Amino acid sequence: MLNVKKICRELEEALNVDEVDPVEIMTLIEIFVDKVNTRRVSPLQKRLFLLTVVDAFQRHKKVLAMIGWDLAVQLMKFIKRDNIDIHGNLGHGPIATAVILGFNAIALEGLPKETLDTGCELLSSLNYKEEVAKYELDGAEAEVEKASEEDEDDEYETDTDDEHGGATDLPNPAVYYDRVPGDFFIGFKVYVLFEMISASYKRISTLYPSKYLALIVSATEEMIRHTAPSIQDPNLLLRRIHNFCLSYVPREVPRDVLSKVGTDEEGALTQEQLDKIVKEENKAQVLLLRRLCTFSIANCVQGINMASELKYFMDVSNQTYENAEFYRAVFELQSRFYNLELSYDVDIKEEFLNLVKESRRIYQALPKDETITSKEARDAISDVAFKLSYSYNVQKLVHQKHVCQAPEGILALSAVHYLEYNEHLVQKLPLDDAIFLYLNFATRSFYSPLFENLNVIGAARYWLWVSVTNYTCSELREQLCQISDYLVKTMFKTLLLKTCQESAVMWRMVSFTLLTRLLCLAKQDLAFEFIEETLQDFPYPHGKSAVLVTLSDLIMKTKKDKSLAQPKETSKKDTDADDLADKMQNLKINESSFIDLTEERMRVISDLAHKAIDIASQPERKQTDVNLVINYGDFFKSVKTKWDKDLLVEFETELAAAYEGLMKKETPKEDKS
Amino acid sequence: MSLKTPILRAMSSFYNFTVTDKAGAAFPLQQLAGKVVLIVNVASKCGFTPQYKGLEALYKKYGPEDFVILGFPCNQFAGQEPGSDAEIQSFCQLNYGVTFPIMHKVDVNGGDAEPLYEFLKKEKTGPLGLKRIKWNFEKFLIDKKGNVVERCSSLTTPESIDPKVAELLKQ
């Protein structure tokens, strides 16, 4: 059993010598931490050690000032599974509270610049996956150690039982918080580090505070990159960052600098020089805070769909939108960031429109449809279209020399505006602009997980909804014609791919509905081509099934069909605007479908259905292959009144033959048994 | 009378505004001429809400003859002031014994911002030269001539404003 009291005594003695060597003290602490921070030492003993360290340094503030930065690293070692019960009340945790006291002491007494530097280094090194792995490893090791408990020989070992033995003082069992280990430890570490960083930053006396603020912003971004993709409760991060921004107080000009102004002393500044520096520093701080705000709001919630899209869908469908508790909590923080961004004098609308312009500019560099002469060229350019946003944004990152707001954050905030005010930030966004915006933010994620962001892509989809519901159909068709066909197809493919990756049923349904609406607006040939290509080689079978349902809708429903009507607010306007067109259409004998059936089109789909039957007949078939055949069956049932009867018979015959073949193959097996 | 003299020009700005009181009636700021005024955007569910206590103490100490506090409820910051005007009044009186005027709920930022706030923000920028209100309980101190002399963040407690109020009252 370890004699912690002896360790504490030795630490006291080391601090009580005439000339304390900080390096020696730090080395001693490191050795002691390694000894104390093991499973063989009880939580109360560890607490005793930590409190002794804190108390000793409170009495030796000069030493604390010098070694505080390294002490923080040692304290971090105590934030782990063995020491903190993740389900208990943190306020009663013997080690957690001692660690907090330690960080507090460092924040107030450590050399501010060095402490800030260490805090930022520790913050940027946080990694969610590593935290989880460490948690699991600690658990596994604890099991192994339980099985083979052996005491090692050590000069600090004692045979007395004055150290509260190995029994742990578990928190009140009546209190049980259902916490996720990764979230808990990342949340706790972010909390103590932000507290330390904020406090030490406030103590730095400098004429150039932006230099230190930049360090904090950079470390926070790094931390977000490695924690946000896995964290389940993004509010753990958002709260800390918001709190930091909200309580941010600009540094005052150091007194020594002020006292020298206008004097002949060495290094003295003139009032003009000082004013210029202060002005530039203020500007730099504002830019950095805006950057922190926009980067955080976009990336902390990157794994969560933007609720604006669902809310708007519900609103236009005349359904009640009920936000789950979790989304309400996320929105509360989003709202805070929205107002924080406003408080930084940012015109979110203007920034958003700039984003739209930039997105348009990216895709306008591509050639127009009519200039592409061959299919090969078209395919090559389509590939470029997919990668264009990624290439552009990588280049932008490489060449960017100024601090700027995170565009993803601006897009996210533009959608938060709807949740905040129940009205769109921009009342009317042309469909072509919404498509460029969507392509810009959605396609880049295919090439790097760094750009994968459900929240931001959801915001871009929300704007597609805004577009398709705030113009008349004829206006929308006109706007869609402004974009090259291959780009529209790229958008369809992206939308379908992203929708198929979506795990939440509700969001998948909303996205498929959006895709259907957009296909209704596209040129028939283009819509059919997209559906054909999807049925041919789309990677997700449920995507193929979804477009079959869409195709059936496009064939069976007519352009006057009210089931695809505009939302409540716009339907009247649409009716008025398209009134003449409707009357003209009424003069025709036949109402037109969104996709007219031709012999060739029916043959193409029938061939694809036969291909699906072939695949489903193979021994290596998957259940999804069989499901697709069933969906073809459902599709043909739904369009049978318009479909070629011979082709329907052909499908049924082949399906029956395939089924018979399968039964035959399986029957001998049954006979054998 | 000419408006060209600096004093009158200043007065013409702040005192020309008319806001709306809790009952929905017009409240011309002209009636505050010659008084020191503290304008605060308040909220009932905010971490800074306990500042009501300090504000009331300040008002009791110096008001209402020479010093007035006007509280403007605002729901723009995390929706922390969701109630109606009547609910807000009742909350302030029951929980903090507020006797200074709490006005009609307003927006302090954005397109629908109360014109008075647009004026105040323009007159006195916040830290780092930023104009917009950052959070609940941001404070503007106006001297007896209608000059916006100080803008304090939510973090500034009413107690710490006391000396400045006292100084302005002496002028």
* Range 131-150 of B in CB contact (< 8 A) with A: 131-135
A76 & A217 share domain: yes
Assess whether B92 carries a catalytic annotation: no
Closest CA to A464 of A446, A451, A452, A479: A479
What distance in Å separates the CA atoms of residue A365 and residue A223, rounded to the nearest whole number? Answer: 35
A206 & A332 share domain: no
- At residue A147, the pLDDT reads 64
Mean pLDDT computed over A59-72: 86
A213 & A324 share domain: no
Which structural domains are found in chain B, ordered by start?
6-170 (3.40.30.10)
Which DSSP state fits A270?
Answer: P
- At residue A155, the pLDDT reads 62
Residue predicted with more confidence, A373 or A214:
A214
Decide: A285 and A306 in contact? Cβ < 8 Å.
no
Q: In the predicted model, is pLDDT for residue A47 greater than 60?
A: yes
As for the ipTM of the complex, it is 0.70
Decide: A596 and A524 in contact? Cβ < 8 Å.
yes
- In tens, the pLDDT along B9-32 reads 444 589 999 999 999 999 999 999
Q: In the predicted model, is pLDDT for residue A601 greater than 90?
A: yes
Contact B132 A345 (CB under 8 A): yes
User: Residue with structure tokens 């059919």?
Assistant: A528
What distance in Å separates the CA atoms of residue B109 and residue B111, rounded to the nearest whole number? Answer: 7
The pLDDT confidence band at residue A621, using thresholds 50, 70 and 90, is: confident
Tell me whether residue A166 is in a domain: no
A375 & A481 share domain: yes
- In tens, the pLDDT along A238-258 reads 999 999 998 898 888 999 999
Residue A133 structural domain: 4-140+178-256+288-294
- In tens, the pLDDT along A622-666 reads 888 888 999 999 999 999 898 889 899 988 888 888 777 777 666
A244 & A357 share domain: no
Contact B134 A247 (CB under 8 A): no
Q: How many domains does chain A have?
A: 2
A242 & A318 share domain: no
- At residue A178, the pLDDT reads 80
User: Residue with structure tokens 């013997």?
Assistant: A94
Exposed/middle/buried for residue B169 (C-beta within 10 Å: 0-12, 13-18, 19+)? middle
* Range 497-526 of A in CB contact (< 8 A) with B: none
Which residues make beta-bridge pairs with B150?
Answer: B141
Q: In the predicted model, is pLDDT for residue A530 greater than 70?
A: yes
Contact A208/B at CB under 8 A = no
Question: E strands of A68-192, at which residues?
Answer: none
Contact A343/B at CB under 8 A = yes
- At residue A146, the pLDDT reads 66
Q: Which residues of chain B have pLDDT under 70?
A: 1-12
The pLDDT confidence band at residue A572, using thresholds 50, 70 and 90, is: very low
Listed residues A497, A522, A547: the one ending a domain: A522
Q: In the predicted model, is pLDDT for residue A380 greater than 70?
A: yes
A448 & A507 share domain: yes
A236 & A306 share domain: no
Lowest mean pLDDT among A107-116, A442-451, A467-476, A575-584: A575-584
Contact A335 B78 (CB under 8 A): yes
Which CB contacts under 8 angstroms, 24+ apart, belong to A584-588?
A585/A559, A585/A560
Please tell me the pTM assigned to this model: 0.84
The pLDDT confidence band at residue A154, using thresholds 50, 70 and 90, is: low
Q: DSSP readout, chain B?
A: --S-SHHHHHHHHHTT-EEE-TTS-EEEGGGGTTSEEEEEEE-TTSTTTTHHHHHHHHHHHHTTTSEEEEEEE--TTTT---S-HHHHHHHHHHHH---S-B----B-SSTTB-HHHHHHHHHS--GGG--S--STT-EEEE-TTS-EEEEE-TTS-HHHHHHHHHHHHH-
A197 & A339 share domain: no
A203 & A80 share domain: yes
- At residue A79, the pLDDT reads 94
Lowest mean pLDDT among A38-47, A194-203, A233-242: A38-47
Mean pLDDT computed over A335-355: 92
Contact A340/B at CB under 8 A = yes
Tell me whether residue A148 is in a domain: no
Q: What distance in Å separates residue B76's CA from the closest CA in chain A?
A: 7
Contact A593/B at CB under 8 A = no
Q: At what angle do helices A181-203 and A209-227 cross, to 10 degrees?
A: 180
A119 & A234 share domain: yes
Mean pLDDT computed over A16-24: 81
Q: What is the CA radius of gyration of chain B?
A: 15
- At residue A622, the pLDDT reads 85
Q: In the predicted model, is pLDDT for residue A433 greater than 50?
A: yes
The pLDDT confidence band at residue A307, using thresholds 50, 70 and 90, is: confident
- In tens, the pLDDT along A261-298 reads 988 888 889 999 999 999 999 999 999 999 999 999 99
Tell me whether residue A550 is in a domain: no
Q: In the predicted model, is pLDDT for residue A197 greater than 80?
A: yes
- Among residues B46, B74, B92, B152, the one annotated as catalytic is B46
Tell me whether residue A135 is in a domain: yes
Q: In the predicted model, is pLDDT for residue A30 greater than 70?
A: yes
Tell me whether residue A434 is in a domain: yes
- Cis peptide leading into A407, omega within 30 of 0? no
Lowest mean pLDDT among A140-154, A536-550, A551-565: A140-154
Q: In the predicted model, is pLDDT for residue A377 greater than 70?
A: yes
Mean pLDDT computed over A197-203: 94
- In tens, the pLDDT along A71-103 reads 999 999 999 998 998 888 888 888 999 999 999
Tell me whether residue A505 is in a domain: yes
A106 & A50 share domain: yes
Contact B163/A at CB under 8 A = no
Listed residues A485, A503, A522: the one ending a domain: A522
Decide: A527 and A500 in contact? Cβ < 8 Å.
no
- In tens, the pLDDT along A386-429 reads 999 999 999 999 998 889 999 999 999 999 999 988 899 999 99
Listed residues A522, A551, A582: the one ending a domain: A522
Tell me whether residue A574 is in a domain: no
Sign of the C-alpha dihedral computed for residues A90, A94, A98 and A101 taken in this order? positive
Tell me whether residue A599 is in a domain: no
- At residue A667, the pLDDT reads 54
Which DSSP state fits A592?
Answer: P
- At residue A496, the pLDDT reads 96
Average pLDDT value for chain A:
87
